[in-house]
Copies of this chain bind each other. A is one copy, B any other.
Amino acid sequence: MKIGIFGAGTVGGGVIEIIEKQEKFLESQGLNIQIVQCCVRNPEKYKDKISEKIKLVENVNDILEDKSIDIIVELIGGTGVAKEIIFEAIRRGKHVVTANKAVIAENLPELEKLLAKNPSVCFAYEAAVGGGIPIIQTLQNELLADNINKISGIFNGTTNFILSKMEEEGLSYQEVLKEAQELGYAEADPVADVGGFDARAKLAILMKLSFGLTIDEKLIYTQGMERITDVDFTYAKEFGSTIKLIAFAESNSLGVMAYVSPVLLSNKNQLSKINGVTNAIMINSEFLEESVFIGKGAGRFPTANSIVSDILSIKKGLKNKAFPMSSKVVFEEGLSSQFYIRFQIKDGIGIIRRVGELCEKYGVSVHSISQLPIGNHKDLPFILTTEKTTRAAVEYLANDIKKLDFCNEKPFFMPIIN
């Protein structure tokens, strides 16, 4: 089986390294695979790094038009050229292995159609969600006949590293972000991670596999972690909880609702125990009840290993249908949950009454009110937790609270998971 690979960076280099290192073992398994071409922007740069057996090329068509190549591996990232490469390879009947969650999530309907037209093509993307965690295979196969009712997870190592560090060391978001950037855990422009968009693309893919739902990922309510402060961690501790950036989707009688947001997460939940850059995916289903998969969500070798295992599956003739589920279930844009609401106030008389009146106005039932003696009396945090209600109601409530004279800023709110 001959392979053409696009990209020789962190993951691409890792794939080449694993296949070289394990060559003899793979041959002993009857799994002879061979990387014949590698397409990079600047071949000169890689000349000394990559084995002579692999031809370095600059033009994507050198690989796409090579009829001897059975599988292409797309690892250049982004949604421009990468999309063109993936789609053109499928049209030419080549199997595709990719780690590109963005291309998949953005082009799901089109991709499904193209794959239906080319039924002999395997499209494999184990590395796109959860890096080294074999969640795609598990959903395509082990959980296929089960009924999944909930997905929740820590899908982004960068944000989990930042939140864990904020909690452990009492540092601010900005301080830890800077450290994460210096360590190479966060990008110079961190918005895809800290804004929740990376997690959103992964969630959209898992929603397709779990519920058969093809949606525009932009419809998923997505809130970043930028407003989390040490005050929130102090209250989280009071509530026997922690704070994690969670991607969440749940099937209920109305359809499927989903969000990506920081969440006040009970310490009883397995996901609360996942710290640092580790990822974790929790699946609740009718037959298996609760399953949790924990592993490295990114990095050279974890991601490369998933790419290699996809290649081997195709070589063995064992690759599952890429998106086996399709269903008529509806996507619920509105989400309901218990909520944690924090606003900063100038201390005074009558605050609880006025907040209470607004809660009543929007039909929001109050679960608890807390105000620890932290901060100064001109800027005190005030925490309200609600019973189950809709995000829309909390949004209205927050906007009205903001207008009250004692309120210093727009309330911050996030869902609660027990």
**Which of B26, B132, B288 contacts A291, CB < 8 Å?**
B132
The answer to whether A25 and B134 touch across the interface, beta carbons within 8 angstroms, is no
The answer to whether A291 and B141 touch across the interface, beta carbons within 8 angstroms, is no
The answer to whether A288 and B141 touch across the interface, beta carbons within 8 angstroms, is no
**What chain B residues lie within 8 Å of A133 (beta carbons)?**
291
The answer to whether B294 and A270 touch across the interface, beta carbons within 8 angstroms, is yes
Query: Which residues of A5-40 are within 8 A (CB) of B?
Result: 18-19, 22, 25-26, 29
Query: Given A29-B324, A145-B18, A305-B145, are A290 and B286 also a contact pair (CB < 8 Å)?
Result: no
**What chain B residues lie within 8 Å of A302 (beta carbons)?**
287-289
Tell me, in angstroms, the Cα distance from A218 to B138 when the chains sit together: 32
Query: Which residues of A107-154 are within 8 A (CB) of B?
Result: 126, 132-134, 137-138, 141-146
**What chain B residues lie within 8 Å of A312 (beta carbons)?**
141, 144-145
A184 within 8 A of B: no
- A309 to chain B minimum Cβ distance, whole angstroms, is 5
- A362 to chain B minimum Cβ distance, whole angstroms, is 38
Copies of this chain assembled into the complex: 2
Tell me, in angstroms, the Cα distance from A261 to B324 when the chains sit together: 42
Query: Given A137-B141, A324-B29, are A293 and B293 also a contact pair (CB < 8 Å)?
Result: yes
Query: Given A132-B287, A288-B132, are A142 and B305 also a contact pair (CB < 8 Å)?
Result: yes
- A129 to chain B minimum Cβ distance, whole angstroms, is 13
**Which of B145, B286, B309 contacts A144, CB < 8 Å?**
B309
- A132 to chain B minimum Cβ distance, whole angstroms, is 4
State the majority secondary structure of interface residues on A: mixed
Query: Given A270-B294, A316-B320, A320-B318, are A145 and B288 also a contact pair (CB < 8 Å)?
Result: no
A292 within 8 A of B: yes
Query: Given A134-B142, A273-B270, are A291 and B294 also a contact pair (CB < 8 Å)?
Result: yes
**Which of B26, B142, B270, B292 contacts A306, CB < 8 Å?**
B142
A308 within 8 A of B: yes
**What chain B residues lie within 8 Å of A290 (beta carbons)?**
278, 294-296
- A3 to chain B minimum Cβ distance, whole angstroms, is 14
Tell me, in angstroms, the Cα distance from A143 to B317 when the chains sit together: 17
| A residues in contact (CB < 8 Å) with B | 18-19, 22, 25-26, 29, 126, 132-134, 137-138, 141-146, 270, 273, 278, 286-296, 301-302, 304-306, 308-309, 312-313, 316-320, 324
Which 7 interchain pairs have the tightest Cβ spacing?
A287-B305, A292-B294, A287-B301, A291-B295, A134-B142, A132-B288, A142-B309
